[in-house]
Amino acid sequence: MAAPQFTLHVLLVALLTCPVTTYPNGRVPMACSGMIPQHNHSPQSEPVHQITVSQTTFKPGDRIKVTLSGPPFRGFLLEARDAEDLSGSPIGSFTLIDSEESQLLTCDDVQGLAVSHTSSSKKTEIKVYWNAPRSSPYHIRFLATVVEKYKIYWVKIPSPVISQPNAPPFTTPTATTEPLTTTLPVSHLTKPFSASECGNKKFCVRSPLNCNPENEPACVFLSFTRDNQSVMVEMSGPSDGYVSFAFSHDQWMGDDDAYLCIHEDQTVYIQPSHLTGRSYPVMDSRGTLEDMAWRLADGVIQCSFRRNITLPEVKNRFVLNESYYIFFAEGAAHDGRIFRHSQQPLITYEKYDVTGPPKNVGGSRSSPLLKAHGALMFVAWMTTVSIGVLVARFFRSVWSKAFILGEAAWFQVHRTLMVATSVLTCIAFVLPFVYRGGWSRIAVMLRGG
């Protein structure tokens, strides 16, 4: 029994500490629309790569060779768009020339609308065929997003325009692409957060429960202060990489509204995101946040921001005047990339409405049910079963003339301890299912964090 448990723990540690890379396999259908990598950095302005085409005119049904080339790059995303509406959906389909370097992506539930890389190996040229659909617009332009390395990438590099015969003259749109980034004012916090108003004016989550980030660097601290139709959020925790929190409908990670404060180059980037399953968080636009500020001191990351309670036109943002479980996690970050948290997140014991009456609450990094599971397994396999074996091995001769209820004393004690072991093991086995609410195929696959 010990060997499988040891192997399981080693596997869990390996999964929790492995770095999360930025889709080196190129499976990025979530980027089809905006073509913007989730790298938490601004794109380069002057492209150094180019797109060439085998012909400048086309008819529906034509097959056109498209070549992306330039200095060595690791990742790319290639699409065709209506040249007069570059913010529209991808058009036509692609056919691969080299399936080892490129792959077809499914966008808008249609296979082959885009092409991306298959690995992070360096490449200088990609060639594919584009198949013009029957209902093609008059003018087509190819767009490519190219990633040289995590911090260096270009978004929507344009190709020459190709047009159908007898098409009206091409008119350059007044705005060819939507804004790629939004520059938002961020200020420096002049002093650490204080817990003095927790339970009075602020809704606070703290660990340890009564700690104060003002004078305790190890204090994990979250506060929410309602101000009319917005909420001011303060977050503080010891970390050299990032701290984060999320609102969740349950105590299981996935489909959550999350916010990260990422330390890089003596700066803290405040980033909203959302979680889909137990995968890398998908970074969202920072345009939903206001009054952002941050502070670094004594190995502690502190950041604050304001967010409207409701954001009806923004996807993945929860309404804040409802009740949620609150997660807090921290982990390592390097070169703009975040890594999985090295320990279980802190999770509140129940759901809370952070816009309601101010409270001072705590949480746990391990559910009481899982703690009970571990305690029962420890008692069963390190105590009762061990003592039962020792009694049968060494006390049979010592208690040879002692009897309990008509049976040898050693045997009665041995049997009682073995039965206790079985009962404790059965109870411990059931507790994780009670915690999870049933059988979880995802949990069994150990994708969790």
**Digit-coded pLDDT (tens) for 90-122:** 999 999 999 999 999 888 788 899 999 999 899
Q: What's the mean pLDDT in 332-357?
A: 87
Q: What's the mean pLDDT in 374-389?
A: 89
Distance of CA 326 to CAs 271, 304, 350, Å? 17, 16, 9
Q: Judge whether residue 25 has pLDDT over 60.
A: no
The span from the CA of 324 to the CA of 178, in Å, is: 34
Q: Judge whether residue 223 has pLDDT over 60.
A: yes
Q: What's the mean pLDDT in 429-436?
A: 76
Q: What's the mean pLDDT in 436-444?
A: 54
Residue 359 confidence (pLDDT): 95
Beta strand ranges found along 287-442 (DSSP E):
289-297, 300-308, 325-331, 333-334, 337-338, 346-348, 360-361, 363-364, 403-404, 407-408
Residue 435 confidence (pLDDT): 63
Residue 88 confidence (pLDDT): 87
396 falls in which pLDDT band (50, 70, 90)?
confident
Q: What's the mean pLDDT in 240-264?
A: 91
pTM value is: 0.58
192 falls in which pLDDT band (50, 70, 90)?
very high
202 falls in which pLDDT band (50, 70, 90)?
very high
User: Over the chain, what is the mean pLDDT?
Assistant: 84
pLDDT > 70: percent of the chain: 84
Residue pair 143/114 in contact (Cβ under 8 Å)? The answer is no
Q: Judge whether residue 180 has pLDDT over 70.
A: no
Q: Which residue, among 9, 443, 428, 445, has the nearest Cα to 250 in the 3D structure?
A: 443
Residue 5 confidence (pLDDT): 41
- AA letter at 222: L
Highest mean pLDDT of the ranges 2-6, 360-364, 371-375: 360-364
Residue 68 confidence (pLDDT): 96
Q: Which residues make Cβ contacts (< 8 Å) with residue 293, sequence separation at least 6?
A: 186, 187, 188, 189, 303, 304, 305
444 falls in which pLDDT band (50, 70, 90)?
very low
pLDDT digits (tens, 9 = 90+) for 50-100: 999 999 999 999 999 999 999 999 999 999 999 999 888 899 999 999 999
Lowest-confidence range among 182-196, 279-293, 304-318?
Answer: 182-196
Check residues 253 and 28 and name the one with the higher pLDDT: 253
DSSP result, 178-194: --S-----EEE-SS---
Residue 436 confidence (pLDDT): 60
